[in-house]
Structure 1
Amino acid sequence: MQCLACTLEFIFLLKFVFILKATYGKEINQTASVTGIEGGAVIMNCSLSEESVGSVRWYKGSNQQILFSQLSSDKSDSRVRVTAVDELARNIMSITFTNITLDDAGLYYCVKLKSDNENVSASGSQTQLFVNSKYKTVKRIIRM
């Protein structure tokens, strides 16, 4: 009788976990922030909590300016290359952003699209890109 109660409790727990998973869906994890030097390169990481079909896009800012897209119909920035991708699991899409400028500083979002490649399946929290000038300001004290 105790074994039956344990089994029923376990089945209830499994159903609860599946309901939670269906309710909350996929999660995207992004590196919180990266810092680079003007003219240099940075890697921005994006990983999905589970395998799914659909393309990935990287956007800059809330106006959703496309930085990188797996869709050939989208125009990606030529300075961006895929760094890491897990083709089997389809859940990792890290990019290398080269020749960065001071204007590139800002918030970037990794977005996973559904299989229709139009609707969003999951969106990352954000990656803050900081860009430092390659020229440091040098203060000189002149004594007379």
Structure 2
Amino acid sequence: MFLLWWVNPTASSLSLSISLSLAFSSFLFLSALHCLQFTAMAVLEFAQPFTLFSPMRGTTLLHLLFIVMLQQGFSTEKQFQIIQTPSVVFAMSGNTVTLNCIINMEKVGAVVWKKHSGNNNLLFYSDILQQNGATDIRISWVHSVRIFDQSIQIKNITLQDTGVYHCVKLDSYKKEYRVGSGVTLIIIATPSYPQITVDHFSSTEDDNSIKLTCTSHGFSPHHIMVTWLKDKDRVLSSQSHVDSQNSNFSFNVNSTVTIQLQKEDIKSAVYCVVNHTALQIPLTKAFYLGRIMQVQPTLSLDSVHKVLVNTSVRLNCTALEFYP
């Protein structure tokens, strides 16, 4: 049902307002119908022609606005959407993760999932792969009956599942019709317990120093913080470097520190502290400087008084402040 209306030039302003109100009500009702644009064209075809300077020019402008809104706001091509939120998902290794995909309207054609690899999107999951047993048994649809929700689940996730996943709508010819914006899956893996090695040690008058390196590996994501402490209260200046293990999407960290040694350091300990988002408390490794330090003794010889020839003399030599 639709309403045809016409304004008499001699009608009162009240009648014009009522007519305009009815027209807007009719427009709102018709906008909910799929055949709205065809109805609008019929209205224009049978409406009386008006000039721009006519007293009824408001009626003409209303019709123009009506058509512009139809052409710009009611196109089926523009309405179809694939919604993938959130755009980034973090999950602990070994857990189950859900990748969301919502389509806002029905349309002929299947929905598949593709995983971004290099410059290509490789087929990751679909009904055909599932039926042929050609997919990973860890992957499944969230809902067995799907209309709008095309989300998937991945169980027992590993670092190899790291990547960008796109929800793709195919048309009736199995060609890509719409591609979702994608969701980035980042697997959280715990770093290994840190290890400290000695890279350089010198105990001479010119160079009395030690260089230590702390390493940890197998973590993800790559953001990690390594701090060096001396006796747990003094922060040492250090350099850290993070690199990736491309084979399993994990990362390694190497952090080095150089310490100028003093005699008092034989009782000191140096700590490498590793902090990462996968850890509830930091990992700490201690290195005791006394294990490697060497302190040359200070020698003291008793003074010798004048003695007679061919007589015995007792001399005392004392070694002080040596280690070990």
What is residue 170 of structure 2 aligned with on the other side? 113
Counterpart in the other structure of 2:109: 54
Determine the structure 2 residue equivalent to 1:64: 121
Write the letter of the residue equivalent to 1:109.
H
Q: Runs of 5+ in structure 2 lacking a partner?
A: 1-6, 8-15, 24-58, 194-282, 291-324
Residue 39 of structure 1 corresponds to which residue in structure 2? Answer: 94
More displaced, 120-129 or 69-78?
Answer: 69-78
Q: Are 2:151 and 1:94 equivalent residues in the alignment?
A: yes
Q: 2:84 aligns with which of 20, 26, 30?
A: 30
Work out which of the residue numbers 71, 76, 84 in structure 1 matches 2:143: 84
Q: TM-score, length-normalised on structure 1?
A: 0.79
CA distance in 1, matches of 2:172, 2:182: 22
Look up the SS of the partner of 2:184 in the other structure. Answer: strand
The answer to whether the aligner puts 1:129 opposite 2:274 as a matched pair is: no
Is 1:75 the counterpart of 2:134? The answer is: yes
Task: Decide whether aligned partners of structure 1 residues 112 and 63 sit closer, same or farther in structure 2, where only a CA change above 3 A counts.
Answer: same
Deviations 1:49-99 (A, max 9, x none): 222122111111142222211224683322111113663xx2211111111
The number of equivalent residue pairs is: 139
- Closer/same/farther in 2, CA of residues 49 and 94 from structure 1, 3 Å limit: same
Name the counterpart of 2:284. Answer: 139
Equivalent position amino acid for 2:139 in 1? V
Identify if the C-alpha distance between structure 1 residues 11 and 129 changes in structure 2 by more than 3 Å, giving closer, same or farther: same
Indicate the RMSD between aligned Cα atoms, in angstroms: 2.6
For the residue of structure 1 that corresponds to 2:95, the secondary structure is: coil
SS in 2 for 1:16: helix
AA aligned opposite 1:141: A
Q: 2: distance between equivalents of 1:120 and 1:25?
A: 17
3-state secondary structure, aligned to 1:111: strand
**Aligned partners of 1:74, 1:50: CA distance in 2, in Å?**
29
Which entry has the higher C-alpha Rg, 1 or 2? 2
Kindly provide the amino acid, as one letter, of the partner of residue 123 in structure 2: I
Structure of greater relative contact order (alpha carbons < 8 Å, 6+ residues apart): 1
Q: Aligned with 2:284: secondary structure? A: coil
Please report how far the alpha carbon of residue 139 of structure 1 lies from its aligned counterpart in structure 2 after TM superposition: 2.7
SS in 2 for 1:64: strand
CA contact (8 A) 1:29 1:124 kept: yes
Which runs of no fewer than 5 residues in structure 1 stay unpaired?
A: none
Name the CA shift for 1:41/1:135 in 2 (closer, same or farther; >3 Å).
farther
Identity %: 27
Contact 1:85 1:93 in 2 (8 A): no
Q: Note the 1:9-28 alignment, pairs <5 A.
A: 9=64, 11-12=66-67, 13-19=69-75, 21-22=76-77, 24=78, 26-28=80-82
Structure 1 stretches of at least 4 aligned residues deviating more than 4 Å after TM superposition: 134-137
